[in-house]
């Protein structure tokens, strides 16, 4: 805790120093008619680009394969914050090491700093198992209907920052929202095709609770909601029990998480003469490579649903 506070303090102090002493590092906001947006995660970057189009230039801090639970700010982030007209993060405990820093810098520069997922009604948030009383699970983008709240919040933030172009942001949002709605319906239909007893999603880290609730599939993950702690031997044993008892045919690894936990589960099941397949790669906290299907928010959901449905014996519905 002490080291984190020191780090945040040092980072903010450095930021003030830079603003105060370096005339060459002037914030560049509003000089080119383009909104410079800093987004923590790719899911926010992608939605912002869909709604903002050519009117925004989005810098993402935690790119492909970067784990947001563990991320601490690096020096180049400072420059991004100095040039930002808008700072967008997900919130709900996701960017655990970053939230204080962003809010302090945003406040000191008078730049809107918005936790886009925190507009989701509290009643729709799930508990953060092991996260302490009153804390909620941050992995809300797993439910496309919930991530629509974030999209709405991004639209509202862009409109407030650049009201002259409100009409464009609103029209782009409306078009994107209908894609979100269509994908949501497709995901429900596709997951429903998995035979009842096999509708069980086993992964390493617990990033799919919202996904499971929205798309009606039971979720089991030994590692917990944050990746800060690794799964213990006992956690793996519990997972193996779950796999064997429920006759789970396939389990999944996540792109940004070491595969060890999943391999340990497969070996554990095999030792009990239950053969479980490696079902494929899911994108949990970070999207895929830019320029690929999984490198977009819609594509990441499409990919995950397809991999899960195919590995668990369902039939993927016709894409909208
Ligand atoms: Zn996570």
Report CA(139)–ligand 1 centroid distance (Å). 6
Distance 178 CA to ligand 1 centre (A): 27
Q: Does position 70 have pLDDT exceeding 70, yes or no?
A: yes
Ligand 1 midpoint to CA 254 (Å): 10
* 145 found inside a domain: yes
Q: Is the pLDDT of residue 47 over 70?
A: yes
- Residue 209: is its pLDDT beyond 70? yes
Together in a domain, 270 and 238: yes
pLDDT score for 11: 56
Q: How many residues are present in the chain?
A: 320
Same domain membership, residue 27 and residue 155: yes
User: 227: CA distance to ligand 1 center in Å?
Assistant: 6
- Tens digit of pLDDT for each residue in 172-204? 999 999 999 999 999 999 999 999 999 999 999
Beta-carbon contacts of residue 234 (< 8 Å; ≥ 6 apart): none
Q: Residue 24 pLDDT > 60, yes or no?
A: no
Tokens representing residue 275 in the block: 């053969």
CATH assignment of the domain containing 204: 3.40.50.1980
Same domain, yes or no: 149 and 259: no
Interval between CA 59 and ligand 1 midpoint (Å): 21
Confidence band of 13 (pLDDT split at 50, 70, 90): low
Q: How many CA atoms lie within 13 A of 170 on its CB side?
A: 7
User: Taking Cα atoms as reference points, which of 228, 186, 201 lies closest to residue 68?
Assistant: 228
| 152 and 203 housed in the same domain | no
242 and 166 share one domain: no
Ligand 1 centroid, distance to 274 Cα (angstroms): 28
Domain containing 207 equals 194-311
Confidence band for 277, pLDDT divided at 50, 70 and 90? very high
Distance 54 CA to ligand 1 centre (A): 31
Q: Which two tokens stand for residue 228?
A: 């800060």
- Give me ligand 1 centre to Cα 68, in Å: 7
Residue ending a domain, among 184, 213, 241, is 184
Distance 260 CA to ligand 1 centre (A): 16
Q: E strand or H helix at 52, and its extent?
A: helix 42-52
Separation of 17 CA from ligand 1 center, angstroms?
Answer: 34
Task: Note the pLDDT of residue 75.
Answer: 92
Domain boundary among 161, 184, 207: 184
Q: What is the DSSP letter of 136?
A: B
Helix (H, G, I), strand (E, B) or coil at 308: helix
Q: Give domain status of residue 189, yes or no.
A: no
DSSP, collapsed to helix, strand or coil, labels residue 278 as strand
Both 108 and 151 in one domain: the answer is yes
Ligand 1 centre distance from Cα of residue 63 (Å)? 14
234 shares a domain with 135: no
| Residue 258 neighbours by CB distance under 10 Å | 12
Same domain, 142 and 198: no
Confidence of residue 10 (pLDDT cuts 50, 70, 90): low
Asked whether 310 and 301 are in contact (CB, 8 A), the reply is no
Q: What is the mean pLDDT of residues 84-91?
A: 97
12 confidence band (pLDDT: 50, 70, 90): low
Distance between CA atoms of residues 282 and 252, nearest Å? 7
Which of 103, 140, 102 lies closest to 120, judged by CA? 140
Per-chain mean pLDDT for the chain? 90
d(CA 62, CA 105): 18
Domain presence at residue 320: no
Using pLDDT thresholds of 50, 70 and 90, give the confidence band for residue 265: very high
The residue with greater pLDDT, 126 or 31, is 126
7/85 same-domain check? yes
Q: Which helix (H) or strand (E) holds 198?
A: none
Q: Which of 184, 211, 241 is the last residue of a domain?
A: 184
In a domain, 14, yes or no: yes
Is the pLDDT at 8 greater than 60? The verdict is: no
Q: Are residues 93 and 143 in the same domain?
A: yes
Domain count within the chain: 2
């Amino acid at each position: 805790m002490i080291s984190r506070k020191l780090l945040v303090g040092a980072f903010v102090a450095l930021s003030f120093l830079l603003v105060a002493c370096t005339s060459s590092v002037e914030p560049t906001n509003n000089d080119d008619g383009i909104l410079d947006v800093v987004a923590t995660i790719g899911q926010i970057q992608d939605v912002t680009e869909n709604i903002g189009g050519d009117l925004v230039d989005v810098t993402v801090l935690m790119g492909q394969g970067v784990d947001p639970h563990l991320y601490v700010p690096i020096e180049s982030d400072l420059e991004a914050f100095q040039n930002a007209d808008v700072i967008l993060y997900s919130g709900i405990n996701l960017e655990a090491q970053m939230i204080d820093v962003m809010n302090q810098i945003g406040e000191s520069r008078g730049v809107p700093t918005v936790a886009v997922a925190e507009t989701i009604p509290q009643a729709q948030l799930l508990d953060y198992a092991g996260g302490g009383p009153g804390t909620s699970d941050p992995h809300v983008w797993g439910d496309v209907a919930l991530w629509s709240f974030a999209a709405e919040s991004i639209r509202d933030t862009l409109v407030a920052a650049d009201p002259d172009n409100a009409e464009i942001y609103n029209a782009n949002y409306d078009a994107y929202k209908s894609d979100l709605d269509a994908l949501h319906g497709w995901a429900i239909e596709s997951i429903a095709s998995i035979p009842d007893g096999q509708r069980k999603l086993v992964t390493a880290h617990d990033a799919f609770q919202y996904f499971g609730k929205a798309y009606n599939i039971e979720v089991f993950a030994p590692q917990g909601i944050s990746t800060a702690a690794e799964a213990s031997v006992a956690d793996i044993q519990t997972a193996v029990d779950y796999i064997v008892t429920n006759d789970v045919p396939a389990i999944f690894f996540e792109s940004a998480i070491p595969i060890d936990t999943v391999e340990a589960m497969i070996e554990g099941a095999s030792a009990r003469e239950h053969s479980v397949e490696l079902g494929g790669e899911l994108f949990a906290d970070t999207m895929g490579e830019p320029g690929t299907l999984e490198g977009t928010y819609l594509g990441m959901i499409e990919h995950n649903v397809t991999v899960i449905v195919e590995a668990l014996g369902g039939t993927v519905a016709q894409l909208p």
